[in-house]
A and B are shown apart, each in its own frame.
Chain A
Amino acid sequence: MPIGVYVCHCGLNIAGVLNMEELKSFAEKLPDVAVARDLPFSCSDIGQEQIQKDIAEYKLDQVVVAACSPRLHEPTFRRAITKAGLNPYMLEMANIREQCSWVHMDQPAMATQKAKDLIRMAVAKAALLQPLEQESIPVSKDVLVIGGGVAGITAALDLADAGLHVFLVERRPTIGGHMALLTDVFPTNDCSICVLGPKMSEVFNHPDITLITYAEILNIEGSVGNFQVTGTRRARFVDEKLCKGCINECASVCPVEVPSEYDFGIGKRKAIYIPYPQAVPLVACVDPKACIGCARCVEACPAEAVKFEQQPQEFKLNVGAIIVATGWQPFDATRKEEYGFGRYRDVITTLQMERMLNASGPTKGEVVRPSSGEIAKSIAFLQCVGSRDATVGNIYCSRICCMASLKNAQLVKEKYPETDVTIYYIDIRACGEGYEEFYVRAQKLGINFVRARVSRIDQVNGDIYLIFEDTQTGEVKRVKHDLAVLSVGLEPDQNAEVLGNLLGLSRRPDRFFEIAHPKMRPVEAHIDGVFIAGCASGPKEIPISIAQGSAAAAKAIRLLHEGKLELEPTSAYVDQDLCAECKICVEVCPKKAISVKSPAYVDEAACKGCGSCAAACPVDAINMRLFSDEQILAQVRAATEEKSEFPLIVAFLCNWCSYGAADLAGTSRIQYPTNARNIRVMCSARVDPSFVLEALRRGADGVLIAGCRLGECHYHNGNYQALQRVNVLKGVLEKIGLDPGRVKIVWCAASEGEIFARDLKEFIAELKAMGPIGTELEKTKVEAGEGTEKTAEGAGP
Chain B
Amino acid sequence: MMDIEKEMEVEDSIIRCRQKTKGTEKVLDYDYKKCAGCSICVDLCPKKALQEGPLQEIAKGLDTPPVLIDLDSCVFCGMCVNFCPTRAFKMTVEEKPKDTETAKKASAET
Contact = CB atoms under 8 A, between A and B. Distances in A.
Interface of A: 244, 246, 248-249, 252-253, 255-256, 292-294, 296, 299-300, 302-303
A377 B60 CA distance: 58
Nearest to A303: B110
Contact of B4 (A244, A253, A292): A253
Contact of B1 (A252, A255, A294): A252
Given A252-B1, A253-B2, A299 B24 contact: yes
B86 to A, nearest CB: 22
B2 A293 contact: no
Interface in B74-110: 75-79, 106-107, 109-110
Contacts of A300: 1-2
B46 A249 contact: no
B77 A249 contact: no
B75 A299 contact: no
B21 A296 contact: yes
Contacts of B106: 302
Given A299-B22, A302-B106, 9 more contacts: A248-B1, A249-B1, A253-B2, A292-B79, A294-B75, A294-B78, A299-B24, A300-B2, A302-B107
A690 to B, nearest CB: 67
Nearest to A248: B1
Contacts, number: 43
B33 interface: no
B34 interface: no
A303 B4 CA distance: 19
12 contacts: A249-B1, A253-B2, A255-B46, A255-B47, A292-B75, A294-B76, A294-B78, A299-B24, A300-B1, A300-B2, A302-B106, A302-B110
A256 B46 CA distance: 8
A521 B84 CA distance: 63
B77 A294 contact: yes
Given A249-B1, A253-B2, A299-B22, A292 B110 contact: no
A253 B77 contact: no
Contacts of B21: 296, 299
A292 B2 contact: no
Interface in B1-28: 1-2, 4, 21-24
Contact of A253 (B1, B24, B110): B1
B83 to A, nearest CB: 12
B109 A302 contact: yes
A299 B107 CA distance: 14
B94 to A, nearest CB: 13
Contact of B46 (A246, A248, A292): A292
A244 B24 CA distance: 23
Contacts of A299: 2, 21-24
Contacts of A253: 1-2, 4
B75 A255 contact: yes
Interface in B25-50: 46-47
Name, among B1, B23, B77, the residue most crowded by chain A CB atoms within 10 Å (CB to CB): B77
Contacts of A246: 110
Sort A-B residue pairs by CB-CB distance and give the 7 closest, nearest first: A294-B77, A255-B75, A300-B2, A302-B106, A292-B77, A292-B46, A294-B75
B99 to A, nearest CB: 13
